[in-house]
Amino acid sequence: MRYLRLFYLVRRRSVAAVLVSGGVVGGHEAFTRSYGAEDSAKAEFETSSKFPIPQDYRGLAWQIRNDYPATASKGDAPWADIDFKKHPERFCDVIKRYCMEGNKEVDFNVQNNKKRNWYHAAWLHYAENGREPLHGLTFERPVSTGELSANQKRPLQAWTCGYYNELAATVFSRIWKDGSSPQWDDHVKFPNGAMVFKLLMVDAKDDEEAPILKGAPMWDAVIVKERENYDDPDTWSDRNDYVSKVRLLQVDYAIADQRSPIGWIWGSFMYDGRRKEKDPWERLTPFGLQWGNDPQLDQEAYEAGARVKESWVNPAADELLRYLHSSRPMWGWNGRLNGPADNFISACASCHSTAVKTTSLPLLTQDSVIHTKRGAYVPAGCKNGVTPGCDAAAMEFFRNIPAGKPYKEGQISADYSLQLMMGWINYQHWLKDNEKEGWVEYVMRRVTGRPRYVSTRRLARMGASPTHVNSDE
Ligand code: HEC
């Protein structure tokens, strides 16, 4: 009874507090202001992973680096002088070195990189696919059965972590300057020279399942419990309580570069176990580059023999596709660039052009495509024959949207950064979840005299691992 009354009083007070604080505060902000949930937003911002580390694990726990710099020195872009259309392979070589330098030696624990600073995207821990605790990997679209070899009889789990250079991290600094109260009011645009890459690993068990991954670098990870398919995202937080191995498949990157019509150059490497380099990290073959979506190349043009002009696909990548006896017909849609773990009905720049500030995930690809009797894949709109404009809806996804402009008018652009978008969505989900708990928080605070959210006991109850754990300590 006492609690009930207290609750009632509290409620009235909080309304007053909102009024006193003036300004137009929305329902949710009112909660955070009067209940001190800011502390907990900050604690979440600092959380590396919510998933527990298996007891027998003896390695390093992953730690997020999100002390984003407000400014960065320019001139750290060794690719800037290379004509990427004329010398794509040289361009890719420089990128590979840039990603590996100082990172490989420290197993991509970027805090220890002595060569340059790298950072992680914020808030990727708070989701069903959220960061696992050993390498900060998030769970991505699985690699479908048969895509990496005819012997691959089950979908493979794909796990990834992204790393942002200093210039790229300045954009995060603007939004997340205050981890307890992020600000995102306008379109973002990454400065020229900003660069981000991500490593993508799969849980292939042996060389039999994916012979191309023979000898690939391996990492420990706490992955999703194995199941027949991973179609239901609600089950993705159901993780093992032991350590598994994941192997390097792909390295993706994006570079903000004003020479590109969309302001970005996309590129990808794939691990190739047939290569002879001693160091397995060096056995990455450039897949290609993409600097535009070829908006003119619709289904009709493609079938009339037109080909991409704004992607360079390495002939070695096409050879790989044949070697794999893969079930996929092409890397990216009608010859555009895409990687082995990506959906072939899409392309790097196309999917990423949908990145905006939003509270729920938008559609990232064209609608499903149809496999016709004559063996071709066509967009759903062309199922009754390839007529002019039959794929107009699909081609919406292959526009050349300039950097810093939103996918649709009225939206706020995330400038092609899907991790920025996903982090924001996760944060919004947390706000919602927290709103429900806001009243309880306030009451508890009144009764116990201390905030509830930041207690490590509570974090532990929620299955969180502390930000910095070294099991050797
Ligand atoms: C169908 C959608 C889709 C396609 C196609 C796709 N990606 Fe992504 N990509 C994502 C999503 C979603 C994320 C964010 C979540 C994550 O990293 O797990 C992401 C993240 C990234 C990041 C981290 C930076 C950021 O903030 O977005 C890079 C770099 C990247 N992708 C490069 C590529 C490259 C290169 C290709 C093509 C070879 C590609 N992507 C194809 C969906 C896609």
Please work out whether the CB of residue 365 comes within 6 Å of at least one atom of ligand 1.
yes
Considering the domain boundaries, does residue 292 fall inside one? yes
Please work out whether the CB of residue 334 comes within 6 Å of at least one atom of ligand 1.
no
* pLDDT tens-place string over residues 67-83: 999 999 877 999 999 99
Considering the domain boundaries, does residue 385 fall inside one? yes
Please work out whether the CB of residue 342 comes within 6 Å of at least one atom of ligand 1.
yes
Using pLDDT thresholds of 50, 70 and 90, give the confidence band for residue 454.
Answer: very low
Please tell me the predicted confidence (pLDDT) of residue 452. 37
Q: Single out the residue of 78, 60, 91, 108 nearest to residue 281, CA to CA.
A: 108
Using pLDDT thresholds of 50, 70 and 90, give the confidence band for residue 440.
Answer: low
Distance CA 58, CA 469 (A): 11
Task: Report residue 343 as tokens.
Answer: 């959906």
Please work out whether the CB of residue 426 comes within 6 Å of at least one atom of ligand 1.
no
Distance in Å, CA 25 to ligand 1 centroid = 35
Please tell me the predicted confidence (pLDDT) of residue 436. 65
Q: Does the pLDDT at position 437 exceed 50?
A: yes
* pLDDT tens-place string over residues 230-267: 989 889 999 999 999 999 999 999 999 999 999 999 99
Using pLDDT thresholds of 50, 70 and 90, give the confidence band for residue 188.
Answer: very high
* H runs (alpha helix) in 158-284: 166-175
Q: Which of 198, 333, 421 for mutating ligand 1's site (highest number of atoms within 8 Å of CB)?
A: 198
C-alpha angle 261/184/357, rounded to 5°? 60
Closest atom of ligand 1 relative to the 331 alpha carbon: 38
Distance in Å, CA 182 to ligand 1 centroid = 23
Please tell me the predicted confidence (pLDDT) of residue 38. 77
Considering the domain boundaries, does residue 31 fall inside one? no
Distance in Å, CA 243 to ligand 1 centroid = 26
> Roughly how many angstroms between the first and final C-alpha of the chain, as a whole number?
47
Q: What is the pairing mode between strands 138-143 and 264-271?
A: unpaired
Distance in Å, CA 33 to ligand 1 centroid = 35
Q: Single out the residue of 290, 265, 262, 91 nearest to residue 194, CA to CA.
A: 265
Which residue has the least CA distance to atom 12 on ligand 1? 418
Q: Which residue has the higher pLDDT, 374 or 22?
A: 374
Residue 422 Rama label (left phi>0; alpha psi -120 to 50; beta) = alpha
Query: Helix (H) and strand (E) counts for the chain?
Result: 11, 11
Please tell me the predicted confidence (pLDDT) of residue 325. 83
Considering the domain boundaries, does residue 27 fall inside one? no
What type of residue is 281? W
Which residue has the least CA distance to atom 7 on ligand 1? 348
Which residue has the least CA distance to atom 28 on ligand 1? 253
* Percent of the chain whose predicted confidence (pLDDT) is above 90: 71
Which residue has the least CA distance to atom 41 on ligand 1? 348
Using pLDDT thresholds of 50, 70 and 90, give the confidence band for residue 438.
Answer: low
Whether the CA torsion 205, 211, 212, 216 is positive or negative: it is: positive
Decide: 466 and 456 in contact? Cβ < 8 Å.
Answer: yes
Please tell me the predicted confidence (pLDDT) of residue 464. 32
Mean pLDDT, rounded, of the chain: 86
Decide: 154 and 224 in contact? Cβ < 8 Å.
Answer: no
Considering the domain boundaries, does residue 41 fall inside one? no
Please identify which residue in the block is written with the tokens 């010859």: 335
Distance in Å, CA 251 to ligand 1 centroid = 10
Q: Does the pLDDT at position 435 exceed 70?
A: yes
Please tell me the predicted confidence (pLDDT) of residue 237. 94
Please tell me the predicted confidence (pLDDT) of residue 74. 75
Query: Residue 226: which domain range?
Result: 53-429
What type of residue is 182? P
Please work out whether the CB of residue 198 comes within 6 Å of at least one atom of ligand 1.
yes
C-alpha angle 351/145/139, rounded to 5°? 50
Decide: 353 and 417 in contact? Cβ < 8 Å.
Answer: no
* pLDDT tens-place string over residues 89-130: 999 999 999 999 999 999 999 999 999 999 999 999 999 999
Region of poorest pLDDT, from 251-265, 328-342, 359-373, 455-469: 455-469
Q: Where are the beta strands (DSSP E) in 122-191?
A: 138-143, 156-165
Please work out whether the CB of residue 196 comes within 6 Å of at least one atom of ligand 1.
yes
Distance in Å, CA 352 to ligand 1 centroid = 6
* Percent of the chain whose predicted confidence (pLDDT) is above 70: 84
Query: Which H helix or E strand runs over 3?
Result: helix 2-21
DSSP state of 350: H
β-strand partners of 454: none
Q: Burial, 291: exposed, middle or buried (Cβ in 10 Å; 0-12, 13-18, 19+)? A: buried
Residues 6+ apart with CB under 8 A from 345: 333, 365, 366, 368, 369, 377
Measured from the Cβ of residue 398, the count of other Cβ atoms closer than 10 Å reads: 24
* pLDDT tens-place string over residues 285-344: 999 999 999 999 999 999 999 999 999 999 999 999 888 888 788 999 999 999 888 889
Mean pLDDT of 41-54: 95
Distance CA 401, CA 108 (A): 32
Percentage helix, strand, coil for the chain under 3-state DSSP, each rounded to 5 = 30, 15, 55
Please work out whether the CB of residue 140 comes within 6 Å of at least one atom of ligand 1.
yes
Q: Single out the residue of 362, 327, 328 nearest to residue 345, CA to CA.
A: 328
Please tell me the predicted confidence (pLDDT) of residue 10. 27
Distance CA 297, CA 282 (A): 35
Please tell me the predicted confidence (pLDDT) of residue 328. 83
Q: Single out the residue of 239, 228, 256, 99 nearest to residue 163, CA to CA.
A: 99
Please work out whether the CB of residue 145 comes within 6 Å of at least one atom of ligand 1.
no
Distance CA 280, CA 442 (A): 54
Using pLDDT thresholds of 50, 70 and 90, give the confidence band for residue 375.
Answer: confident
Closest atom of ligand 1 relative to the 161 alpha carbon: 17
Q: Which residue has the higher pLDDT, 450 or 330?
A: 330
Decide: 266 and 291 in contact? Cβ < 8 Å.
Answer: yes
Considering the domain boundaries, does residue 102 fall inside one? yes
Distance in Å, CA 246 to ligand 1 centroid = 19
When divided into structural domains, the chain yields a total of 1
Distance in Å, CA 348 to ligand 1 centroid = 7
Task: Report residue 141 as tokens.
Answer: 């679209």
Distance CA 186, CA 390 (A): 35
Distance CA 432, CA 439 (A): 13
Q: Does the pLDDT at position 159 exceed 80?
A: yes
Please tell me the predicted confidence (pLDDT) of residue 447. 65
Please tell me the predicted confidence (pLDDT) of residue 218. 97
Which residue has the least CA distance to atom 40 on ligand 1? 348
Q: Which residue has the higher pLDDT, 449 or 94?
A: 94
Closest atom of ligand 1 relative to the 253 alpha carbon: 29
Query: Which H helix or E strand runs over 11?
Result: helix 2-21
Q: Does the pLDDT at position 465 exceed 60?
A: no
Considering the domain boundaries, does residue 451 fall inside one? no
Distance in Å, CA 48 to ligand 1 centroid = 21
Q: What is the pairing mode between strands 264-271 and 218-221?
A: unpaired
Question: Rg of the chain over CA atoms, in angstroms?
Answer: 24
Q: Does the pLDDT at position 427 exceed 50?
A: yes
Q: Which of 159, 202, 348, 413 for mutating ligand 1's site (highest number of atoms within 8 Å of CB)?
A: 348
Considering the domain boundaries, does residue 61 fall inside one? yes
β-strand partners of 265: 255
What type of residue is 218? M
